[in-house]
Structure 1
Amino acid sequence: MASLDDKLHTALEHSLGQHLNEEIIRRGWNYYRSGQVLNVKQADEDTLYGAVQGSDVYSVLLDSDHFKYSKCTCPFNDYCKHMAAVYFAYCHSLDGEAAAKAAYDRIMGNDQKQQGTVTVSVPKFSGRHDQPSDDASPEEWGRWMEDEYGETWRSCRHSLHALQPVLSALKGTTKHWDKRSQRLHWMSVILFVLDQAEQAIKTVDTFSRYYHEMSFLRMAEPWVEHYYTLALELEPSEADGELRHWIDYLAGYAKSKAMKNEQQLFDWTFIYLAICERMSTDAQWYTRELDNMAKEEYREADESVNVSFIHTAAAMLSFFGRDDEAALAHFGKTDFQRSQKVIYPCVAQRLEEGDWTIIGSWMNFLYEHISKVKNARTIGPFMTLCRRADTDQPDEPLWTRYMVEMLPHSYADLSDHWLAVKKYDEWADLQLLIGMKPDDLGVQNIREMTKAAPHVLIPLYHQSIEESINSRNRQGYRLAVKELKKLEKLYNAGKHADKWERYIEGIVSKYQRLRAFQEELWKGKIVT
C-alpha cells in the first residue's frame, strides 16, 4: 500500500487533533487496539476508506486534503471515534503498531506535554541583566528582552510551551504602569514572543514543518488576537511624547519583519497594518509613514526586500487616507494572490459607504485580476461583493455581468443570489444553461419555485425528461415518467391542461419506436 503524501498525512493528523476532543481520540485508539477496524484502504493520494465494527458496521471516509468532507455512517453525525480508529489502523498498516502509537501521541499532544514539563521551568528572571527602569526607551526594553529571553526559541522544537511563561513574566514587569503605557509595552512583548516562534520554526525539518506550523499557529492564536485587541484600543489623540515613541517602535518592529522576503509563520503585514489603521487619523504620523514607505520603493531592486509588502502597505496607507486611486495603483504592483485578502475588506468598506464611482473602480480592478485565474478561492469573496453590490444597486447591470462571466465557477453563488432577489426567470435560465435537473436543485428550492413562479420550472422538466429518455435504458424511462407526473401538476396548476395534452402527444409520437418507454408511460398512467 502506497503511503499518503507527507504533507497530506500530517494535515490529516492535524485535522483529527483539531476536530476531535481527547475523549473521542482515546476511544478511537481503544477501538483500533481491540481490533474493531475491519479494513482500511487508500483510495487515492489523499483519501482513506475503512470499516469499523461498533454496534453496527460503519463505513468511514477520511479526506486529508478537505477534512470537512470526511464522513462516517454512524449515528453520531459528527467527527467521531471511528475516524480516529481508521487512521490509527492505517498507520499500523504502513509501519506497524509503533507508528500508530506515535501518531496517537502526536494527536493527543503527549510529546508536547513532555516537552512542556521541561520548558515550564523557565525562570521569571534569569538575573543576568538588570531590568530597565520604568522610563527606559522601548529600544532598551527590546534589548533587555533579547538578552534575558532571546534564546528561549531553542526550547521550542516541538511546541511553543516554553514561550508562555516568558510572555507572562514580561507582561508582569509593567503591571503597575498606567493603562496606555502598559498597552504598548504588552504589544511589544507579544511581538518579541512571536519573533521567538519565528526563529523556532526555522529549526524544524522540512518533513515536519507543516505539522509544526499548524501546532505553533494554534498555540499562538490567542497571543495574536490579544495584540489586535490592544491595537484597536490605541488612541492617536492621546499618543504624544514617549507614547508616540513606543508606537513608532512597534510599527518599525512589525515593518522590519514584514520587509523580509522569506517564508514566515505569522502575517506581519497585518500586524503592521493594525497600527497603521489606528494611527492614520493622525495627519502628522500618517504623512511621515507614507513618506517612509515611498522611500522603501526605491530599494525594490534589493532581492532581500519583500516588494509585495511595500506596495501593499503603501496601498493600505493610501486607502486609509482616502486616496483610492493611489491605493489601486500600488495594489496593481503586488502579488494579487497574496494581497487579495487585504483588498476585499477595502471594497467591503467602500460598499458600506456607498460611493459607487469609487466602488466601480475597485470592482473593476478585482474583476480584471480574478478573470485571469479563475478558481473557487478567489471567486468566492468576489462573488460576495458582487451580490452585495447588486442588492444595493439593482439597476446597475455591471454586477450581474461580472457574476455571469465568472461561470461556471460562480454558479452556486449566482444561483443563490437570483433566488434571494427573486429573479426567478434568470435563475431558471441559469439552471438550463448548466444542465441541472430539478431533483438536483433541492426540495426547498423546488417548493419555493412551485409557489412563487411555477412557470419557470416547466422548461427545466422538459430538458430533464428529454435527457432521461435519451439515456435509452429502463431506469431512465422510469425517471422520465416520474418527472412527467410532476410536470403535469405544474401545467394543471397554471390552468394549461390543453398545453399539457399537446406536449404529451408530442412526446408519445416522438418516441413511439421506444417500446420500453411506451410501456413505462402506460404503467405510470401517463397514457391510457
Structure 2
Amino acid sequence: MMNIPNDMNMDDAQWQQLIRQVAEYFNNLTIMRGFQYYKQKRVGPLTYTEQNGILAKVQGSDDYEVTLSLQSLNTSHCTCPVGSHCKHMIAVLMSYAEQLGRPVHGIVNAHSSTALKQAPKPAAIAPSGRSDYAAHEEDLTIPDNQYSQIKERATELAELEITEWHELFRACLKRLGIGTPSTSYVQAAADELYSIKPKLSAGMDQLFELHVQLYLIRFCVPGRNSITHTPVYLSYPAQLAVDALQKGLEQIFSRPLELSGLKGTRLEQLWNRLEETSAYLRTQMISETSSMMFFTPIYRELWLNWIVPNLQGNRETLESELAFLQEIENGLAAASKPVKPGESVLSVANLTENGSRGPIKSVTLPLPLVLAQSWMYFHLGQDEQAWQRLISGSSAYGIPPEHLLHFLHVLADSSDWKRLSEWLVQLGPLLANRRNSPLNDYMQLWDTAIHHLPDVEHRMWDTLVSMLPHSRPAYEEAMHSRGQWRRWIDFQLSTETEPLEFRVAVLQPIEKDAPELLLPFYHQAVDRYIGHKNRDGYKAAVKLLKRLSKIYKKLKQEEHWEQFITTLAVRNSRLRALQEELRKGKLIS
C-alpha cells in the first residue's frame, strides 16, 4: 500500500460502502470505460485533500480534472462534458483502490457483487425454484393505467441501458400474471414484449429481438444456488420452451448485424448496447456448468457474428473484453484466499507461509471463463494463448467436444486452411478420450484441410499417433480410406490384432490391391492360434490358413505354400487335434 493520509484509509465496512456507491451512481458501461482508462494508465498522480477528497487529472480527448468526494460520490464532479458520474471518475477511483491495496475488480464488479449481497434469502425464492424473475413478481405490480407509461418509456429504448430494457420487460409482463416456463407462456410473453417495441433502426431492432430471447431464457432457467451449488434442472415444459428460444437465437445470429446508414449518436448508441449485452452475458454465464450452458454459447455467437465482423481491425475492443475477463479471474483468485487489509491479490498469491516468494496458487477457473478467454485470444490471432487456456481447462475438468470443435468449424468456414491445420494438431489430443462421434467430425475437418493443403497430411498422421490408443478407430479408418495398406498392416502387426476380428469387407480391398502385405499378418496370427493349444484355436488357425492358400495361389507362389503347410504339419505332428482340423479343412491329406 502506498503512502496515503491515515484519514483516507478504509476499513472493510467503508470499502463496501464505497462499492455500493459505485453501483448506485455509475452504470456498467461507464465502469467498463473507466476500467479501460485505468488499464491504459491515463490517470495522473492523486492528490488527497481534506474531508476525504481526491484530485487527479485524467487523459481523455483532453486533460480533465476530477474532484472526488469519497463521502458522497454523487457530489463529485469532472471538467469533462459529462460533468459527473463519468468514466474519468471511475478511473481515478480504481487508481485510489490500487494505492489502497484493495482489489480493483471490486469496483469493476460493483453491480454484480452488490446485487448478490442484496439478494433475498432462500425463503423468499419462488416455490418453483426458478430465477429471480419469478421470485420478485410482487415487486413488479404495475397498475393497468400505467401501461401507457410503459409504452411511452419504450420509445426511448435506444437511449436506455440494457438493464433498463430488462426492467421494462419485467414491468410489461406483469400484465400476464405469474407464469410458469412453457412454450405457451413464452409465446404469450414474447407477443407482449413486441407490443411495446417502438420503431428502431434495423440494428437496434435485431438487438431487441435478441434481448427478448435472452430475457425469456433467463425466466425459464432456474438460478443456481451460489451457496449449496445445487445442480440446475429444467422441467420438461421449460426444456421445450428453452429449445424453441435457442432455435430463435440461431435465426437471429444467422443475419449479420445491420449497421448501414448509422452514424454519429445512433451508431454510438448501438455499440453501447452491444457492449452492455456482452457485459450482461458475461455476468449470466460465469456460474454455468458444462452440463447446463445457456448463455455461454450466446456470448460466443454475439462476438463471432455481430461484434468481431464490425470491428474493422480494431483490436482495442477485444483487448478490453479480455481485460474484463482477466479481472473476473483475479476476483476468483482473490476469493480463493482471503486478502488481508493492505495486501494486493498478487502479493498474497505469491507468498509462501514464511513470507518468501513462492508459486502462484492454482485456481480452477469456471469453464465459461476459460472458453470466453480462449475466444478473445482466437479473435486476436493469439493462438498460443488460446491453446494454453483450452489445454489447461481440459486437463482440469475436460471440455465438452462441441466447444472445441466450434473453433475448428469457424476456421473451416472462413477457409483459413493453414490455421485450421494448426488448430487440428493442438485440439486433437483434447478430443482423444472422447467417443467416436467428435472424432468423426474431427477427421472430416482433417480431410477438408488436406484437400486444400496436401502438404499437411503428415501432420495428421503424427497427431493421430500421439492420440493413441483413443484415436485407434479414427487412425485405422484414415489409413484404410486412403489405401495406406502397408501402414495399416504394420499397425495391426504391432498391436497383435486378430485378423478374424475384421469383417471380410475390410480385408478384401487389401487382398485385391496388395495381397502380399497380408502374409505376415496372417502368419503371425496362425502361430498365435496354434499356440493356444485348444480346439478353438486350431479351428481359427485353419480359417486363416485357407485364406493364406488363396493368397499364395493369387501370387503364383503355390510351391511356397506347399512347403509351408508341409513344414507346419510336421512341426506340430504331436498335436492330434490340430492334425484333425487340418484334414477337415483339406489342407493336408
Check if 1:294 corresponds to 2:323: yes
Equivalent position to 2:368, from 276, 294, 309: 309
1:143 paired with 2:167, answer: yes
Q: Equivalent residues in 2 for 1:107-126 (5 A)?
A: none
* Cα separation, 2, equivalents of 1:153 and 1:248: 32
The alignment covers a number of residue pairs equal to: 399
Matched, 1:455 2:516: yes
State yes or no: 1:424 paired with 2:424: no
Distance 1:248 1:431, change over 3 A: same
CA distance in 1, matches of 2:287, 2:428: 30
1:410 aligns with 2:471: yes
> Distance between the aligned counterparts of 1:232 and 1:390, measured in 2?
28
Shift of the alpha carbon at 1:280? 0.9
1:184 positional shift:
1.8
* Deviation sequence 1:283-303 (CA, Å, 0-9, x none): 377623531331441342323
Alignment partner of 1:436 is 2:497: yes
Shift of 1:183: 2.3
Work out the CA distance in 1 between the residues paired with 2:295 and 2:556.
Answer: 65
Contact 2:253-2:301 within 8 A present in 1 as well: yes
Distance 1:200 1:343, change over 3 A: closer
Cα distance in 2 between the residues matched to 1:150 and 1:277: 34
2:309 counterpart SS class: coil
Compare 306-315 and 291-300 and name the one that shifted more: 306-315
The 5 Å alignment of 1:494-509 reads 494-509=555-570
Cα deviation code 1:350-380 (max 9, x no counterpart): 4674564x45653554356567xx4547982
| Structure 1 residue 427: Cα displacement | 1.1
Partner of 1:401: 462
CA drift at 1:503? 1.9
Tell me how far 1:165 sits from its aligned partner: 2.1
Q: Note if contact 2:479-2:485 (Cα within 8 Å) is conserved in structure 1.
A: yes
Residue in structure 1 matched with residue 271 of structure 2 by the alignment: 244
Whether the 8 Å CA contact 2:429–2:466 is kept in 1: the answer is no
- SS at the partner of 2:284? helix
Structure-2 change in CA distance of 1:451 and 1:261 (3 Å)? closer
Partner deviation per Cα, 1:390-418 (whole Å, 9 max, x = no partner): 66435653331221232222111111101
Amino acid in the other structure paired with 1:182:
D
Alignment match of 1:198 (pick from 204, 221, 226): 221
Q: Distance in 2 between matches of 1:151 and 1:433?
A: 72
Q: 1:271-290 alignment to 2 at 5 Å?
A: 271-278=298-305, 279-283=307-311, 287-290=316-319
The one-letter amino acid paired with 2:403 is V
| 1:195, distance to aligned residue in structure 2 (A) | 0.5
- Select the residue among 427, 452, 473 that pairs with 2:534: 473
> Which one of the candidate residues 142, 161, 165 is aligned to 2:188?
165
Q: Which has the higher contact order (CA 8 A, sep 6+)?
A: 2
| TM-score calculated relative to the size of structure 1 | 0.64
Following superposition, the deviation at residue 196 of structure 1 comes to: 0.7
Shift of 1:237: 4.0
Q: Percent same amino acid among aligned pairs?
A: 19
Alpha-carbon shift at residue 146 of structure 1 (Å): 2.0
Q: Tell me, which stretches of 5 or more residues in structure 1 are unaligned?
A: 1-124
Q: Which amino acid aligns with 1:282?
A: N
Deviation, 1:179, is 4.8
Alignment partners' CA distance in 2, 1:206 and 1:298: 23
Report the equivalent of 1:52: none
The answer to whether the Cα contact below 8 Å between 1:437 and 1:464 also exists between their aligned partners in 2 is yes
Contact preservation (8 Å) 2:493, 2:521: yes
What is the alpha-carbon distance in structure 2 between the residues aligned to residue 167 and residue 310 of structure 1?
Answer: 30
The question of 1:362 aligning with 2:423 is answered yes
The structure 1 residue matched to 2:243, chosen from 221, 226, 247, is 221
Match of 1:487 in 2: 548
The C-alpha deviation readout for 1:314-372, integer Å capped at 9, x for no partner, is: 3313322334344335545645623764343334554674564x45653554356567x
More moved, 250-259 vs 214-223: 214-223
In the aligned structure 2, how far is the partner of 1:182 from the partner of 1:252? 19
Q: 1:142, CA displacement in angstroms?
A: 1.5
Question: Tell me, what secondary structure is at the counterpart of 1:252?
Answer: helix
Other-structure match for 1:111: none
Q: Aligned partners of 2:463 and 2:328: how far apart in 1?
A: 37
- Bigger radius of gyration among the two: 2
The residue type paired with residue 144 of structure 1 is: L
- Between 317-326 and 515-524, report the one with greater CA deviation: 317-326
Letter in 1 for 2:283: S
Map Cα deviations across residues 238-297 of structure 1 (whole Å, 9 max, x no partner): 362443344334323222212336688333222012111122133377623531331441
Contact (CA 8 Å) 1:150, 1:196: kept in 2 or not?
Answer: no
| Closer, same or farther: CA 384–126 of 1 in aligned 2, 3 Å | farther
Structure 1 328/467 Cα, relative in aligned 2: closer, same or farther at 3 Å?
Answer: closer
- Distance in 1 between residues matched to 2:230 and 2:163, nearest whole Å: 37
1:233 aligns to what SS in structure 2? coil
Question: Which residue in the other structure is 2:7 paired with?
Answer: none
Aligned to 1:12: none
For 1:215 and 1:503, locate their aligned partners in 2 and report how far apart those are by CA, in whole Å: 71
How does the TM-score come out when normalised to structure 2?
Answer: 0.58
8 A contact 2:378–2:386 mirrored in 1 = yes
Distance 1:261 1:283 in 2: 28
Cross-structure match for 1:268: 295
Deviation at 1:311, TM superposition (A): 4.4
Given that 1:160 and 1:197 are in contact with CA atoms closer than 8 Å, whether structure 2 keeps it comes out as: no
Classify 1:161/1:244 alpha carbon distance in 2 versus 1 (closer, same or farther; 3 Å).
same
Q: Distance in 1 between matches of 2:469 and 2:246?
A: 38
Question: Retained in 2: the 8 A contact 1:366–1:382?
Answer: no
Give the distance between the partners of 2:586 and 2:250, measured in 1 at CA. 68
Partners of 2:455 and 2:572 in 1: CA distance:
45
